[in-house]
Chain A
């Protein structure tokens, strides 16, 4: 099966510190993947590279059926190619309503003049309502996003990702600060999304990763340490050493 995203041999340094070290990692068109790793393993830098925020020193990032390189594209071009990103801290537009937040994210022409002459259509409204129902915010469409609870903001942001209709979702710590019920619901949303597209979840929380029940990649010092099911990787002695901080080998 051809891959949706192929990252190969990527390295990047900040002031001499190698945040990513010869990293190679692939994602299939429809899969759910968790990326775990201790602090400083390069999880966020990996997402920065894929979304165009950081340019790597070397390596290739190849995307999609046409095998285009993402390295020459800007953030907005990469987003238009179909890669959506959810940040660790929920970043929704708090002054605006849930509907406005979703409408902004909805897949539509993005140029200033297309936006200026944009008209509300029944089709867009239906898409917004479908997404709002998916994330459980159908009753809150007219509320300002700033009024939502922490968990609801996280869902709204996931909903904004879904509205972009991306082929790859990069989700950074979606469960941080959530209650148990909220986590369950988040798991459901992500697993349903992964039926039709690739969803990559970066997470610290092992319990949440277990609930996702998917393939796991362990990053350490900027490269892949282990890959496989959660039981497989947690049985790996190197992973145990890294996570428990034992220095003997």
Chain B
């Protein structure tokens, strides 16, 4: 079964080989495990980029293969980040609190410890009480379960309501935008229980590994992210190949026809929407420990639109296209906005890329949509076809 799937999809093997080689090279050049030619911060950037590639292939499955233009998948990414962030923040604060209280002659009561942790975490929003949603924050296992369950359940309920009412096309896109906007606005509130606009911070410090240098933590997360991307790629390639792929591509091309063939289209859409939301949550849970901080601005509607732009530029309906688009555009974006690109002096006006990058991105999105609807990934088709 597996063997026939991989032999029928050689591009999957090529992708895994390329990803493996890339991972090996970075590991050999990194500060912690190799020659030290690549800085720790750049290893983190690459690790984060791999997570963005993972959510991009999820987006490609839901949009490029199933035709559902979700502009809310970053909400699931953010939820995954918050879920793991809660444990990271709780466990680390607990460690600090226990250490500072250990000098006291009278051992602190559990209530005192809990109050002190609450004060540390929620003092910034004028509170010290643990909200209900932090009930499992002391358990890494349960919070990891939340990474999968919360995005999955939200997608299941949202998708069930939307698809059952046969909301499609631009109306569905608007609904998904509303979902991520509502979640973002809710989290901005100080009494949301997740520290309002401060978000969760210090996530790069992994509890239990206080003595481990960041360079090692960075390369470990980089390797985990690469593994997750590889596994996610194989998983999604399996989903979109074979008969399942036929049906969901059929739904994209002619939903009514698939319905008259006897398929319950809504179940398929719900399946694809939910499974991609879960993978997006996992990607977010790997991203934010590398970013170090998550706040509600991360899941603003624009983030999900960027995601669609990456996939469109990389090439819809091919998984490697989504990876190329996400990696290329997000790295280019940090180069331009991070001051890497030199300003252009026109004499009468100086083009500063920190301001003009968005214009360039917007123009390239329009150009790709109009001129190269298959995106960068379409170039591969062209090259493959040229060779006999």
B209 at the interface (CB under 8 A from A): no
Q: Please report which residues of chain A, range 189-210, place their CB below 8 angstroms from some CB of chain B when the two chains form the complex.
A: none
Q: Please report which residues of chain A, range 69-87, place their CB below 8 angstroms from some CB of chain B when the two chains form the complex.
A: 74-76, 79-80, 84-85, 87
Cα separation A168 to B265 with both chains bound (whole Å): 22
B244, B257, B259, B264: the one within 8 Å of A118 (CB): B244
Contact check, A110 vs B262: say whether CB atoms are below 8 A apart. yes
Cα separation A164 to B268 with both chains bound (whole Å): 19
Contact check, A103 vs B246: say whether CB atoms are below 8 A apart. yes
B253, B254, B260: the one within 8 Å of A79 (CB): B260
CB within 8 Å for A93 and B263 given contacts A104-B243, A104-B246, A112-B244: no
A51, A95, A111, A112: the one within 8 Å of B260 (CB): A51
Cα separation A116 to B273 with both chains bound (whole Å): 15
Closest residue on chain A to residue B252 by CB atoms: A95
B1 at the interface (CB under 8 A from A): yes
CB within 8 Å for A93 and B260 given contacts A112-B244, A112-B268, A119-B1: no
Q: Chain B, interface size: which category?
A: 20 to 34
B226: which A residues are within 8 A, CB to CB?
Answer: none
Q: Is the interface of B mostly helix, strand, loop or mixed?
A: helix
B242, B256, B258, B267: the one within 8 Å of A112 (CB): B267
A96 at the interface (CB under 8 A from B): yes
B261 at the interface (CB under 8 A from A): yes
A93: which B residues are within 8 A, CB to CB?
Answer: 246, 249-250, 253-254, 257
Q: Chain A, interface size: which category?
A: 20 to 34
Question: 1/0 per position for A30-61, CB-CB distance to B under 8 A?
Answer: 00000000000000000000010100000000
Instruction: Identify the interface centre among A53, A76, A94, A95: most chain B CB within 10 Å of its CB.
Output: A76
B263: which A residues are within 8 A, CB to CB?
Answer: 76, 110
Contact check, B271 vs A112: say whether CB atoms are below 8 A apart. yes
Contact check, B259 vs A76: say whether CB atoms are below 8 A apart. yes
Q: Please report which residues of chain A, range 82-107, place their CB below 8 angstroms from some CB of chain B when the two chains form the complex.
A: 84-85, 87, 91, 93-96, 100, 103-105
Closest residue on chain A to residue B258 by CB atoms: A104
Question: 1/0 per position for A147-185, CB-CB distance to B under 8 A?
Answer: 000000000000010001000000000000000000000
Contact check, B250 vs A104: say whether CB atoms are below 8 A apart. yes
Closest residue on chain B to residue A76 by CB atoms: B264
Q: Please report which residues of chain B, range 228-263, place their CB below 8 angstroms from some CB of chain A when the two chains form the complex.
A: 239, 242-244, 246-247, 249-250, 253-254, 256-263
B249: which A residues are within 8 A, CB to CB?
Answer: 93, 95-96
B246: which A residues are within 8 A, CB to CB?
Answer: 93, 96, 100, 103-104
B242, B262, B264: the one within 8 Å of A164 (CB): B262
A87: which B residues are within 8 A, CB to CB?
Answer: 257
Cα separation A104 to B271 with both chains bound (whole Å): 18
Contact check, B264 vs A110: say whether CB atoms are below 8 A apart. yes
Closest residue on chain A to residue B267 by CB atoms: A112
B244: which A residues are within 8 A, CB to CB?
Answer: 112, 115-116, 118
CB within 8 Å for A75 and B247 given contacts A91-B254, A116-B239: no
B271: which A residues are within 8 A, CB to CB?
Answer: 112
Cα separation A87 to B268 with both chains bound (whole Å): 23
Q: Please report which residues of chain A, range 109-124, place their CB below 8 angstroms from some CB of chain B when the two chains form the complex.
A: 110-112, 115-116, 118-119
Closest residue on chain A to residue B271 by CB atoms: A112
Cα separation A53 to B255 with both chains bound (whole Å): 13
Nearest CB of chain A from residue B236's CB, rounded to whole Å: 12
B258: which A residues are within 8 A, CB to CB?
Answer: 104
B239: which A residues are within 8 A, CB to CB?
Answer: 116
Closest residue on chain A to residue B251 by CB atoms: A93
* A residues whose Cβ falls under 8 Å from a Cβ of B: 51, 53, 74-76, 79-80, 84-85, 87, 91, 93-96, 100, 103-105, 110-112, 115-116, 118-119, 160, 164
Can you show 21 pairs from A to B with CB atoms below 8 A apart?
Answer: A75-B256, A76-B259, A76-B262, A76-B263, A79-B259, A91-B254, A93-B250, A93-B257, A95-B253, A96-B250, A104-B243, A104-B247, A104-B250, A104-B261, A111-B267, A112-B268, A112-B271, A115-B244, A116-B239, A118-B244, A160-B261
- 16 additional contacts (CB under 8 A) given A76-B265, A80-B262, A95-B249: A76-B260, A85-B260, A93-B250, A93-B253, A95-B253, A96-B246, A100-B246, A104-B261, A105-B261, A112-B267, A112-B271, A115-B243, A116-B239, A118-B243, A160-B261, A164-B262
List of 6 A-B pairs having minimum Cβ-Cβ separation, nearest first: A79-B262, A118-B243, A75-B259, A112-B271, A80-B262, A76-B264
* B residues whose Cβ falls under 8 Å from a Cβ of A: 1, 239, 242-244, 246-247, 249-250, 253-254, 256-265, 267-268, 271
